[in-house]
């Protein structure tokens, strides 16, 4: 029986099964697209961005691993997924139709914003790199193309959301399809198989060798499950609780302490601001998770528990990841001091394990300032959705606005110890999410204006019955 269970677990976490799931979801999305008209790959982002086959491109030796042609990078590498090609097809098709005025027109408000300015600063960083280090390396342009894809995904989605029902359906799809991703991570730890490149028992996404992308994926979806699913009733209660539990277990299996801290801070602040029901559900989920880990010790290997709970290994060991990061940051700050305004250029510094420091050293003060302004605009977008939901008397859209703000806050905290927004990560789903939020804000504003202009019903307490007719005596 144990051998059968182990075989089933190994089968469930195989890359072959991941490819099969990806193909099935892609086929289903063709059917969905007939109704939603949003683009096949974009409808399937919730799971395709997590389990789709990918290639790592970088400067180094070439190696063939299963279905993936991976290029081992010496210092930096970039991830290219199969659905990137499908995305490119849909976006180019839409842009050509818009130029010929045969398709959905481009909304200029979604084009001219700080996100575009941020992409232009990335382009400038690539130019600075070429000026300083020569034109032989093509790698900065690979990074720029991936950043450009992020922007085009955001642009495509924000211009194709037809109405609130459409946006709600896509968010529901994104949340429901996160359930198998959480289950995937739990099965990895239960199988007792080492997937991380450092040899630890930490869960990773398919075709990855590090737990960072899985941590980011869970940070994007857990707030949506708690606030949008449980509080806002985006999906049924059973599915919302199941998604929350599996994603929290997946985050624990990834073993990232700062990601967990970011989630606790974000969910705590969001619950105090909006709904304590989400906090109760989150704390209850943590209790259930602890009970599951005690009942099934295979889900909590000793190395993983020690990593998550023993902070002395983080600060007391000079060879720990925290100590190594501090050394990298000191080197990065010293490198930045030589070119403080424009930086050393895109990809001009090895991985910094801190996105803010990386922006500072590669794009200088100008690039970091633009990035921070971009973040402020994203935060304001979430606030507008929350305000629009409140004005439109919609608890669901208020919950969605809060969940997006919590997602951004959790990822921003996590970015202190990781290059969270760089192209190696599975960040397309974040810009997919952001595009939906940009489209929702104006829609909810128009809805609230219509409600304000509509005549209000007269309260019963103000309605007086007519006096009875008295006949003359």
Q: Higher model confidence: residue 185 or residue 377? A: 377
pLDDT confidence of residue 1: 47
Query: Given a cut of 60, is residue 47 above it in pLDDT?
Result: no
Each residue's pLDDT tens digit, 450-473: 777 766 565 555 555 555 555 565
Residues 6 or more apart whose CB falls under 8 angstroms from that of 76 comprise 58, 59, 139, 143, 347, 350, 351
pLDDT tens figures, 373-411:
999 999 999 999 998 888 767 888 889 999 999 999 999
Q: Residue 38: pLDDT band by 50, 70, 90 thresholds? A: low
The answer, yes or no, to whether residue 367 has pLDDT greater than 60, is yes
What pTM, to 2 d.p., does this model score? 0.84
Q: Which of 51-65, 210-224, 315-329, 394-408 has the highest mean pLDDT?
A: 394-408
Task: Supply 462's token pair.
Answer: 């103000």
Q: How many percent of the chain have pLDDT more than 90?
A: 17
- Greatest mean pLDDT among 99-103, 199-203, 338-342: 338-342
The confidence band for 43, taking pLDDT boundaries of 50, 70 and 90, is: low
Average pLDDT for 325-353: 87
DSSP collapsed to 3 states, 254-290: HCCHHHHHHHHHHHHHHHHHCCHHHHHHHHHHHHHHH
Q: Tell me the β-bridge partners of 70.
A: 63
**What crossing angle do the helices spanning 178-191 and 237-254 adopt, rounded to 10°?**
40
Average pLDDT for the chain: 77
Exposed e or buried b for every residue in 365-393, given b needs 16+ CB within 10 A? ebbbebbeebbebbeebbebbbbbbebbe
242 or 74, greater pLDDT: 242
- The mean-pLDDT minimum among 209-213, 290-294, 334-338, 427-431 falls in 290-294
pLDDT grade for 124, boundaries at 50, 70 and 90: very high
């Amino acid at each position: 029986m144990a051998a059968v269970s182990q075989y089933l677990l190994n089968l469930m976490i195989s890359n072959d099964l991941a490819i099969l799931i990806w193909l099935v979801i892609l086929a289903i999305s063709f059917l969905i697209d007939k109704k939603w008209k949003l683009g096949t790959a974009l409808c399937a982002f919730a799971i395709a961005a997590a389990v789709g086959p990918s290639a790592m491109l970088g400067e180094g030796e070439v190696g063939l691993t299963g279905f993936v042609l991976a290029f081992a990078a010496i210092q930096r590498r970039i991830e290219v997924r199969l659905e990137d090609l499908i995305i490119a097809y849909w976006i180019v098709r839409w842009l050509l139709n818009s130029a010929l005025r045969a398709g959905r027109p481009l909304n200029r408000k979604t084009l001219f914003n700080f996100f575009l300015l941020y992409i232009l600063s990335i382009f400038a960083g690539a130019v600075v790199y070429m000026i300083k280090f020569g034109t032989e390396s093509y790698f900065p342009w690979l990074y720029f193309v991936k950043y450009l894809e992020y922007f085009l995904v955001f642009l495509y989605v924000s211009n194709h959301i037809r109405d609130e029902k459409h946006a709600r359906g896509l968010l529901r799809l994104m949340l429901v399809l996160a359930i198998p991703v959480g289950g995937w991570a739990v099965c990895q730890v239960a199988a007792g198989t080492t997937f991380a490149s450092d040899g630890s028992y930490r869960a990773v996404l398919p075709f990855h060798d590090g737990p960072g992308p899985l941590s980011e994926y869970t940070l994007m979806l857990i707030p949506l499950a708690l606030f949008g699913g449980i509080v806002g009733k985006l999906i049924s209660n059973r599915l919302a609780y199941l998604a929350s539990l599996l994603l929290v277990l997946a985050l624990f299996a990834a073993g990232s302490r700062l990601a967990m801290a970011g989630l606790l801070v974000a969910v705590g602040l969001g619950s105090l601001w909006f709904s304590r029901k989400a906090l109760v559900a989150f704390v209850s989920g943590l209790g259930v998770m602890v009970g599951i880990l005690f009942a099934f010790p295979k889900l909590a290997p000793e190395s993983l528990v020690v990593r998550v709970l023993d902070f002395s290994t983080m600060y007391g060991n000079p060879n720990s990841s925290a100590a190594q990061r501090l050394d990298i940051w000191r080197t990065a700050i010293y490198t930045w001091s030589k070119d403080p305004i424009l930086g050393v250029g895109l990809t001009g510094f090895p991985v910094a394990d801190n996105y803010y420091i990386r922006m500072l050293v590669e794009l200088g003060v100008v690039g970091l300032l633009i990035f921070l302004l971009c973040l402020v605009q994203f935060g304001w977008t979430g606030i507008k959705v929350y305000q629009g939901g409140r004005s439109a008397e919609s608890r669901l859209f208020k919950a969605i606005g809060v969940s997006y703000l919590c997602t951004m806050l959790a990822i921003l905290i996590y970015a202190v110890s990781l290059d969270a927004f760089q192209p190696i990560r599975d960040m397309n789903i974040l810009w997919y999410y952001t595009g939906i939020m940009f489209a929702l804000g104006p829609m909810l504003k128009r809805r609230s204006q219509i409600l304000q202009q509509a005549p209000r019903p007269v309260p019963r307490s103000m309605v007086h019955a007519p006096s009875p007719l008295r006949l003359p005596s």
